[in-house]
Amino acid sequence: MKIYTTVKPLILGSASPRRKDLLGSAGIEFEIRPATCEEPAPKPGQDPEEYAREMALTKARNVAAAHPGSYVLGSDTIVVRDMDILGKPKDRAHAYEMLKSLCGRTHKVISGCALISPDGSTTDFAVSTDVEFIDFNEKVIRAYAATGEPDDKAGAYAIQGQGAFLVKGICGSYTNVVGLPLARVIELLIEMGVVVAGES
């Protein structure tokens, strides 16, 4: 028995294995067509939630242009310390500096999501989760940075991987921190008639 059945063509506009696994975990069927557009840096002073939504829309539109008959889901996840958006680290030294700046503090993980319908209409939203890190010493942070896990992760850590040891607690959606606010996404897919509960 499936939890959800996909009844309309759905495309995930992302190459992220984490988003693929999360969406697939509920039995939802979809194609993967990663966006090929550039990801511009946030504008000076831009609201982080606005930026995450803007990026999700940009990615979804990029994929939808080549697949007009499908619903296209785009997503972008950012890590925010105070009002500073932390992207992916440039190298291991940069990863260490990012992690050091987060230790002993609470930061936000924000995912913007956008769904484009075959008729071109769009729906977008952002979900924010507070994440608190334990304050680790320099040796531990350097050892984690050296594992390579932070290399391609926003904020330089993966809560679903070895980076889980950094996290003292979270307030909000766990799957959002992994890369996709699954409950909210499924709500939207049901609302739009893309998926239905159980077997169709």
CA neighbor of 14 nearest in space, from 78, 52, 48, 59: 59
Tokens of 34: 């990663």
Query: Where are any strands of DSSP class E within the chain?
Result: 4-6, 10-12, 31-32, 71-81, 84-86, 106-116, 122-133, 167-171, 195-197
Tokens of 172: 């909000």
Is 151 among the residues known to form the active site?
no
Out of 21, 47, 76, 151, pick the active-site residue. 76
**SS3 helix, strand, coil % of the chain, rounded to 5?**
35, 25, 40
Residues annotated as catalytic are 76
